Amino acid sequence: MDPKVKLELERLRADDPLGRSEDPFADFREVLLLGLEHRFRYRHSLGKSSRFFLALEEGVLLATRCERCGRVWLPPRPVCPNDLQVTRWTELSGKGTLESWTLCPRAPHYARTGEPYLLAYVALEGVSTLFLHQLRGVGPDALQHGMELHAVFGNEPVDHPLERFWFEPLEL
C-alpha cells in the first residue's frame, strides 16, 4: 500500500456481483477503500423547549398547555399544533402510568445506559401525549400495562439534560 498516503487504505479485487461471463466492467474490478472520518460539533439551541430542561435542575417536570383546546403537550410545544395558539408552561406531578415498553439487551453506543435497559411510553398525569423515556428499578417480568410510575431524578453526572431523570414503578 502506498506509504505516502496517510489515510487508512485497503485494496481489494472485486468480482462482478452478477457473475456475468462477459463482465462489462472487467476493466474496473480493482478497488481501493479509504478510511474517512468527519467530525462535526454543534452549538445546539434547545430553543423554546429550554425551560423544560432548566427545570430538571430543580427536579420538576414541565409541559405546555394550550389555553384554547386544553391539550397538554410533552415534549413541549410553544405553539399548539391543534389550533396554533401559543401555549403556557404547566407543572406536572411526575406521576403516570405505563402505556407500552420494550426490553433492549444491548444499548446503542450513544445511549449511555446500563444493559439491558427498558424504554417505555409513559402516560403522564395531566398530559395528552405519551412520553418516551427509560424505565429503571424494575425487571421486564414485573411490568404491566397501566402500572403506576413516577419520575425519579438522579444525582450522578450525566451527559444530556434529559438523562437527569427516568421512570420507576411508584411504590405504595
Partner 1 sequence: MDDVVVLGCGLSPFRSSRFDGSIRDWVAEAVLAALADSGLEHQQIDQSLMAYESDHLAGQIGQGVIWHDTLGLTPRPTARIEGCGATGGLALRSAFAYLRAGLSRCLLVVGAERVGKSVSTATAGEIFAMSSDTDWEFPVGGHFTAYYALLMREHMRRYGTTEEQLALVSVKNHGNARYHPLAQKPKELTVDEVLASPLIASPYKLLDCSLLSDGAAAVILANRSWAQANVPRFSERPVVALTGSGCATDYARAGDRPRDALAHFTAKRLAGEAAYAMAGISEPLEEIDVAEVYDSYTGAELMAYEALGFCPPGASGPLSEEGVFSLQGELPVNPSGGLLGFGAAAGATGVAQAVEITAQLRGEADPRRQVAGAKRGLSDCHAGTCTVAAVHIFERKDI
Distance CA 163, CA 77 (A): 20
Q: Is 58 exposed, middle or buried (0-12, 13-18, 19+ CB in 10 A)?
A: exposed
Taking CB under 8 A as the criterion, the residue among 99, 125, 148, 168 binding partner 1 is: 99
Closest separation in Å from C-beta 136 to partner 1:
11
129 binds, among Zn ion, partner 1, none (CB under 5 to 8 A by kind): partner 1
Site for partner 1 in 103-132 (CB under 8 A): 103-113, 117, 119-121, 123, 129-132
Distance CA 172, CA 168 (A): 12
Taking CB under 5 A as the criterion, the residue among 56, 80, 118, 122 binding Zn ion is: 80
Peptide bond into 78 cis (omega under 30): no
Smallest CA-to-CA distance from 118 within 106, 105, 135 is with 135
Closest separation in Å from C-beta 65 to Zn ion:
9
Residues 6+ apart with CB under 8 A from 147: 97, 98, 169
Site for partner 1 in 28-67 (CB under 8 A): 28-29, 31, 33, 36, 38, 46, 49
**Which positions touch partner 1 (CB under 8 A)?**
12, 14-18, 25, 28-29, 31, 33, 36, 38, 46, 49, 73, 75, 81, 99-113, 117, 119-121, 123, 129-134, 140, 145, 160, 162-163, 166
